[in-house]
Amino acid sequence: MNARIQCAAPHCRRLFAPDPRVKNQRFCGAKDCQRARRRTWQQAKLAADPDYKANQRDCQKQWHQHHPGYHKKYRHNHPAYRARNTLLQGYRNARARMIATMDEFKPAPIKDPGAFYLLPLIAKMDASAQKVFLIPIGYDQSKVIAKEDSIASRDPGC
Ligand SMILES: [Zn+2]
């Protein structure tokens, strides 16, 4: 009898007896574990093989042409999926807005040495980024706030 090995699926990790006919078996036979095995294989293939990736993209495009409105219906029927997507897209939009604002913002030339506010911009989003802008005290911040409001009021998209 074969020694039992641990399933490689992160959600499973059960000990199982591998099938002697399957070389280098790493996943047990459970349906979810086999799906995880195929997904792992496909992700590696997509990353390594540009032809496979292009072929997959063509197939998906074709499928979408034959099933118009599928994703619209799916989102309608799966509110939890939609809520998660909305949340993550909101995060991505906020991050993009923050980066865009940084690019637009050119610090005013400093004429006189004096007191300044130190404003960490991205530090909360990404601990490795330590960019800081100097804004002279007395600088008209209403212009900056007005600009942020106009960006925030835009439609976030999907
Ligand atoms: Zn398993």
Distance 11 CA to ligand 1 centre (A): 7
Nearest to 131 by CA among 115, 118, 114, 143: 118
Q: Going residue by residue through the chain, which has 158 residues, state the pLDDT in tens, using 9 for 90 and above.
A: 568 999 999 999 999 999 999 999 999 999 999 999 999 999 999 999 999 999 999 999 999 999 999 999 999 999 999 999 999 999 999 999 888 877 666 666 666 666 666 655 554 555 454 555 555 656 555 555 444 444 444 444 44
Tell which phi-psi region holds residue 152, choosing left (phi > 0), alpha (psi between -120 and 50) or beta: alpha
In the chain, where are the structural domains located? 1-65, 69-98, 105-158
Distances (CA, A) of 94 to 87, 90, 128, 151: 11, 6, 18, 10
Q: For residue 18, report the distance from its CA to the centre of ligand 1, in Å.
A: 11
What pTM did the predictor assign?
0.48
Q: Ligand 1 centre and the CA of 34: distance in Å? A: 8
